[in-house]
Amino acid sequence: MPNSDLLPSPLFKINENQQALEAAIMELTLWVEQRGSSEAGGNVRGALDTIRKNEEFINMTLAMLMTPE
């Protein structure tokens, strides 16, 4: 198996971890906002937007890597 065949699997797991961290951070953000810190919540939401924007590109790249030629 060529080394290039090994790449999609860890990238998929890294992306999966990123999505899990995003969900956990959002839960904490909601908790913080419910306790009155809307500024901190807004800052976190801004950072999470970057993750969401990059997620589409990551998913597209993974799909291309996993498609047989």
**What is the pTM (predicted TM-score) of this model?**
0.70
The answer to whether residue 22 is domain-embedded is yes
* Domains in the chain, number: 1
The answer to whether residue 69 is domain-embedded is no
Q: What is the mean pLDDT of the chain?
A: 84
Angstrom distance (rounded) from CA 25 to CA 39:
15
Kindly report, residue by residue over 26-50, the tens digit of the pLDDT. 999 999 999 998 898 889 999 999 8
Question: Rounded to whole angstroms, what are the CA distances from 42 to 48, 49, 65?
Answer: 10, 11, 35
| pLDDT given at position 29 | 92
DSSP structure class, residue 9: H
The answer to whether residue 11 is domain-embedded is yes
Count CA within 13 A, CB hemisphere, residue 24.
Answer: 6
User: Which residue range forms the structural domain that includes residue 14?
Assistant: 3-64
Angstrom distance (rounded) from CA 28 to CA 33:
9
The answer to whether residue 56 is domain-embedded is yes
